Structure 1
Amino acid sequence: MSLNFSQGLVLENNHVLLRSLQESDLEYLVPFAINEPNTWEYSMVRVDGKDNMIKYIQTAIDGRENQNQFPFIVFDKKSGKYAGCTRFYDIKLEFKTLQLGYTWYGEQFRGTGINKQCKYLLLQFAFETLGMERVEFRADNNNKRSIAAMKSIGCKEEGILRSHMPTLESEVRRDAIILSILKKEWFDEVKYNLLKKRVY
């Protein structure tokens, strides 16, 4: 199945709802940018303050229009609040690969299990609906919390890209860790192990 970039997409279960990011979602996300700037400590984009959140949302939507990204806003049903964002990117349907990232949640949602709920829905859609053969994840190699979260859902570490990209701090470059899940791994083990962990 191909991904329709021009239509909205909703993925949900009893705990979370992920839907296509829209410009109007600024009202839900800007409080994070103003009150929790450390959320993007290891990010390649600075999303502190309203203006930067506007740019962040517009860049994500531009990526969808260019058909190489598909961003989502995350709604936590337990609290009744919007919790953050995530997206598919570097989408190569012809090769049946994509990357999953740009994932962040507000402080009150970290450690609640929401990430595993979201990853289950996203990986299920990628492998079972889109027919992907590989889903890749990347992170700053210093971002231990993010790396631990990726490994906890079943990602396999592949290696380190040394001095891969510049950071937002001048003179500093980051090493990027690459992890992935393959289609066979999803059906053989990751899906069922993740199902067991999807509990708040």
Structure 2
Amino acid sequence: MNIPTLQNEFVKLEPLTLENYKNLYAISSERNLLQYSPSDISTFQALTNYVQQALIQSENGVSIPFIIYDKTTQRYAGSTRYMNIDWKNKVLHIGSTWIGKEFQGTGLNTAMKKLMINYAFKKMGFEKVEFRIDQRNIISRKAVEKLGAQLEGILRKNVFLSDGFKRNTCCYGILKSEWP
């Protein structure tokens, strides 16, 4: 799959590769970075496995992984992807997003999500963008609500996290017709 580079004045999303992911190791080892995620990126080997899985999903056409470059600080900030891509029904998720603590609250995440939503609707021809967020992750929930995503329901105790906790997952969605 040909993965595009997406960018605006704040952020550049480049294809995540087995060459560039090493730029993320310092960030991925930050404590509690993925406290609400089932993924493990806490060691170099875990990060490598994470990237390899993302690339396999990409080859299978169900994921498009990106490395996040913050243009303001001129540094790599994290990773995100289109995932659970349903080409037939024109629905995809934006998820597996993690950015380093120093980049949180800077507007980077909002700029990145707007870029991805615009691309999904205008260039890829999708009809709906969804987000799956741990019910306890209030900051991420408020962030997608600010983008206009609607809470569509809560999946109860549906995902095991790496610490063994089984989370409730909030399902949010934005329809193409709702996006400005």
Aligned counterpart, 1:164 = 158
Q: Is the 8 A contact 2:21 2:67 kept in 1?
A: no
Instruction: For residue 8 of structure 1, report the CA deviation from its aligned partner.
Output: 3.4
Q: What's the Cα RMSD here?
A: 1.0
Partner letter of residue 186 of structure 1? W
Structure number having the greater helix percentage: 1
Q: Is the 8 A contact 1:69 1:89 kept in 2?
A: yes
Following TM superposition, the consecutive aligned residue runs of length 4 or more in structure 1 with deviations greater than 3 angstroms are none
Aligned counterpart, 2:143 = 149
| TM-score, normalised with respect to structure 1 | 0.87
- Structure 2: how far apart are the matches of 1:180 and 1:129? 19
Q: Is the 8 A contact 2:134 2:170 kept in 1?
A: yes
Partner letter of residue 180 of structure 1? G
Q: Is the 8 A contact 2:155 2:169 kept in 1?
A: yes
Instruction: For residue 13 of structure 1, report the CA deviation from its aligned partner.
Output: 1.1
Give the paired residue count. 180
Percent identity over the alignment is 35
Equivalent residue for 1:10, pick from 1, 5, 25: 5
How do 1:27-176 residues align onto structure 2 when only pairs under 5 Å count?
27-34=22-29, 36-170=30-164, 172-176=165-169
| TM-score, normalised with respect to structure 2 | 0.96
- Structure 2: how far apart are the matches of 1:109 and 1:19? 17
Q: Is the 8 A contact 1:161 1:176 kept in 2?
A: yes
Instruction: For residue 38 of structure 1, report the CA deviation from its aligned partner.
Output: 1.0
Aligned counterpart, 1:183 = 176
Instruction: For residue 151 of structure 1, report the CA deviation from its aligned partner.
Output: 0.9
Q: Radius of gyration: which is bigger?
A: 1
Instruction: For residue 127 of structure 1, report the CA deviation from its aligned partner.
Output: 0.4
List gaps (5 residues or longer) in structure 2: none
- Structure 1: how far apart are the matches of 2:161 and 2:22? 28
- Structure 1: how far apart are the matches of 2:52 and 2:31? 19
Q: Is the 8 A contact 1:37 1:47 kept in 2?
A: no
Partner letter of residue 16 of structure 1? V
Q: Is the 8 A contact 1:98 1:136 kept in 2?
A: yes
Instruction: For residue 94 of structure 1, report the CA deviation from its aligned partner.
Output: 1.1
Instruction: For residue 123 of structure 1, report the CA deviation from its aligned partner.
Output: 0.5
- Structure 1: how far apart are the matches of 2:74 and 2:132? 30
Instruction: For residue 16 of structure 1, report the CA deviation from its aligned partner.
Output: 0.8
| Corresponding residue SS for 1:116 | helix
- Structure 2: how far apart are the matches of 1:74 and 1:99? 17
Partner letter of residue 91 of structure 2? T
List gaps (5 residues or longer) in structure 1: 188-200
- Structure 1: how far apart are the matches of 2:28 and 2:154? 30
